[in-house]
Amino acid sequence: MVTPESDEEKGKYKKEEGDEDETAEGEKVKECPECGSKSLVRDYGKAELFCADCGLVIAENIVDLGPEWRAFDFEQASRRARVGAPMTYRIHDKGLSTLVTWGLQGQGQYKLKKWQQRTHIANTTERSFIFALSEIDRMASALRLPMNIREAASMLYRRAMKKRLIRGRSIEGITTAILYIACRQYGVPRTLEEVREISRVGQKEISRAYRFLLRELDLKVSPASPVDFVPRFCSLLDLSGEISSKAIEIIKRATEKELTNGRGPIGIAAAAIYIAAILSGEHRTQKEVSDVTGVTEVTIRNRYKELSEQLDIDVLL
C-alpha cells in the first residue's frame, strides 16, 4: 500500500508569521532547493508550497489545518484518484501453501515454519525488486533514456533497498524519483513534469520521494543548467541544431550577466529557445514552447522579456 503520509511528516508544519515557509526540518525557504528559483507559490487550498519553475513540491501541510485534517485527507484522496490509482505492488502468496503441506509436526514443523518465513521474506523482497526494475525500465523506455541511466537507476534503487528506505513507501514514487535523480547525475535532466507524465504517481508523491532520497542517501545533485535542456527541447519543437546553438549562446550571455540568478533553468531554457527561434525566422508560439517544456506561458513571457531587454536583443514578431 501507499503510505499517504508518514507520522513524522504529518502535523509538523505550523503556519509561521511572515512570508517564508518551513520545511520538515524547519528551515526557512526563500528559493527552490531544486532549481534555485525564487518563484515559490503557496497553495493554501492544497496546503503546499511549490516551485513555479520546476514544479517541485517543497513543503506540504504548510497550514495547520487542525480538526480539518479529514477534509485535507479527502482532498488528497480525490486528487490521487484523478492522477490514477498507483499500481502498488502486492504480495501474492500463491503456491507457498502447497509447498508446505507435507509433514507438519514436531521439530520439522518449527524448521519448516522458519524456512517458510525466510522464503516468504526473500520472495517479497525479490518480487518488489523485480517490480521496481520493471518500473524503471518501463519509465526509462517511455522517456527514451539510454541504458547507462537505467543501470544507474537500478544501482541507486539497490542502495536504497539496502538501507531499508523502501519499506512503507510506494515503489512507484521511489523509482520515479530515482530515475529523475539518475537523469540529473548524467547531465540529461528531465523535467518533473515529464517524469510525472509517465509515472503512476503524482507530482507530490514524486517530490516527497525525491526529497526523502536526497536526504537519506546523502546525495548531492547539482542544479541543472538551462543548457542541458536545450537540445532535447529544440528537437521536440522540431527546431534545428543551429537554433539550439543560438539558444545556448543566449543562455551563456544571460549567465555572464547574472540574469539567471533566482530563475529556474527550465524557464530560462524555454525563453532562450523562444527567442532563438524567432531570430532564425522559425517562430514557435509561447503555447507550443510551453507544451514541450512544461513552463507556463506567463513564465516564458516574463523570462523572454527580461532576457531580450537586458541582452539588447531585438525580437520582432
**Interface residues toward Zn ion, by CB under 5 A:** 32, 34-35, 37, 51, 53-54, 56
DSSP string covering 228-275, please? HHHHHHHHHTT--HHHHHHHHHHHHHHHHTT-STTS-HHHHHHHHHHH
Round to whole Å and give the CA distance between 62 and 36: 20
DSSP H helix total and E strand total for the chain: 12, 5
Decide whether 50 or 274 has the Cβ nearer to Zn ion: 50
Cβ-Cβ contacts under 8 Å for 90 (sequence gap 6 or more): none
- Give how far Cα 27 sits from Cα of 11, 16, 23, 31, 33, Å: 16, 12, 6, 11, 11
Decide whether 51 or 149 has the Cβ nearer to Zn ion: 51
Decide whether 23 or 123 has the Cβ nearer to Zn ion: 23
Task: For the chain, report the end-to-end CA distance as a whole number of angstroms.
Answer: 53
Nearest distance in Å: CB 193, Zn ion: 11
Residue 251 main-chain phi, psi, to 5 deg: -65, -40
Decide whether 56 or 272 has the Cβ nearer to Zn ion: 56
Nearest distance in Å: CB 58, Zn ion: 8
Nearest distance in Å: CB 54, Zn ion: 3
Return the closest-CA partner of residue 179 out of 160, 58, 169: 160
Decide whether 52 or 143 has the Cβ nearer to Zn ion: 52
Nearest distance in Å: CB 31, Zn ion: 8
- Nine-digit cell string for 55: 514544479
Decide whether 4 or 223 has the Cβ nearer to Zn ion: 223
**H or E stretch at 108:** helix 106-142
Nearest distance in Å: CB 298, Zn ion: 16
Nearest distance in Å: CB 34, Zn ion: 4
CB of 72 closer than 8 Å to CB of 47: yes
Nearest distance in Å: CB 113, Zn ion: 51
Decide whether 140 or 300 has the Cβ nearer to Zn ion: 300
Q: Which residues pair with 43 in a beta bridge?
A: 48
Decide whether 35 or 259 has the Cβ nearer to Zn ion: 35
- Give how far Cα 116 sits from Cα of 82, 107, 112, 122, Å: 40, 14, 6, 10
- In three-state secondary structure terms, 227 is helix
Nearest distance in Å: CB 71, Zn ion: 28
